[in-house]
Chains A and B, each alone.
Chain A
Amino acid sequence: MSLFRNIVFAAVIAGLLSGLLLTVMQSFSTVPLILQAETYENAAPEAGHSHEAAPAAGATAPAAADHHHDEEAWMPADGFERFIYTAAADVLAAIGFGLVMIAGAEALGGFGGWRGGLLFGIAGFLTVSLAPGLGLPPELPGMPAAELGPRQIWWVSTAVCTAAGLGLLAYTRSAVLAALAIVLLIAPHLVGAPLPPSHETAVPIELHARFVNAVYATNLVFWAALGTLAGVIRERFRAGEDVAVRSSTELASR
């Protein structure tokens, strides 16, 4: 259990720090653009935050048809409460990504310090930000999109294929496996992401362009920080692991 405990510990610390860094970066870059887009999302008679608009407004605006919220569902109040929930979601997602990344790195022989951690972080950015983003660019509220389910399936499949492709490129030396890696990297984009029937939206294209840039920039810094921190912290906390290995080899030699 010491390996599990140590990885969870490293992932929680690295995820907490990098998630908070991401939240700070987002509150200056992506979140203001999201709030601005929400004013277009429901350009209904009743001004203000779209999520509070009457259900009829969501039904009449074609661009917002995909973005209908259940009126009964709870949501955080704008301002500080919303910021806190965004921070919590960022930190949780960062811890989750950290757990998967450290487990993957350990299975492949470990980070080997901050530099290896940084490389794993960049691989994480390619896997869950850049590659899925090529087919499903970061969306602002109020933008048309295909059904949620197929998009999530395409997103997850693309991330899995990209991770496998990058792993093969980095950890194997045969030409056949390198070719397979290229196929894995390209295949999701040949299949193509589910697209909306119409791209018409009230959100200005300039706003969306700035949002896409901001998402990639913040996520690259976040992943670099998460990977580097995970590499450093993982090296420092190995309590109990050597003992466990020694005792199991002792048992084997008996």
Chain B
Amino acid sequence: MVTKSAATAVSVSTSKIIPLSMTALLGLFVVGFVGFSHMEVVHNAAHDSRHSFAFPCH
């Protein structure tokens, strides 16, 4: 079963590459904004969440 998914992984159609990378980039942007932004206001708003996710803080 895993070998089958490995085979499909190789054959990810080119039409999927753009939407999948757009999705991943959007996700990274959201996580980066909440957990890694250096803006003081964002830090303060997400303070307890950042500590509880164990993101590097302060």
- Asked if A7 meets B46 with Cβ closer than 8 Å, knowing A26-B52, A95-B30, A145-B58, the reply is no
Other-chain contact of B41, A8, A73, A93, A128 (Cβ < 8 Å): A73
Looking at chain B's contact residues, the main secondary structure is helix
**How many residues on B have C-beta within 8 angstroms of the other chain's C-beta atoms?**
46
Residues 1-58 of B contacting A (Cβ, < 8 Å): 2-6, 8-9, 12-13, 15-16, 19-24, 26-36, 38, 40-41, 44-58
Evaluate contact between B54 and A34: CB separation under 8 angstroms: no
Query: Which residues from chain A contact B50 at a C-beta distance below 8 Å?
Result: 89
Closest to B39 in A: A73
Q: Closest A-chain residue to B52, C-beta based?
A: A30
Number of A-B contacts (CB under 8 A): 176
Shortest beta-carbon distance from B41 to chain A in Å? 5
Contact across chains for A244 and B23 when beta carbons are under 8 A apart? no
Of B4, B19, B30, B44, the contact of A96 (CB 8 Å cutoff): B30
Known contacts A74-B41, A93-B34; decide if A31 and B5 are in contact (CB<8 Å): no
Inter-chain CA distance A248–B15, complex, in Å, is 9
User: Which residues of chain B have C-beta atoms less than 8 A from A218's C-beta?
Assistant: 52
> Which B residues contact A (CB, under 8 angstroms)?
2-6, 8-9, 12-13, 15-16, 19-24, 26-36, 38, 40-41, 44-58
Residues of A participating in the B interface, judged by any CB pair closer than 8 Å = 1, 3-4, 7-8, 11, 22, 26, 30-31, 34, 51, 66-67, 69-70, 73-76, 82, 85-86, 88-90, 92-93, 95-104, 106-110, 112, 128-129, 132-133, 136-141, 145, 148, 151-152, 155-156, 170-173, 214-215, 218-219, 244-245, 248
Q: List 19 A-B contacts (CB under 8 A).
A: A4-B22, A30-B52, A66-B58, A89-B48, A89-B50, A90-B49, A93-B34, A93-B49, A96-B27, A97-B31, A99-B23, A99-B24, A99-B26, A100-B27, A106-B20, A109-B5, A109-B12, A139-B51, A155-B56
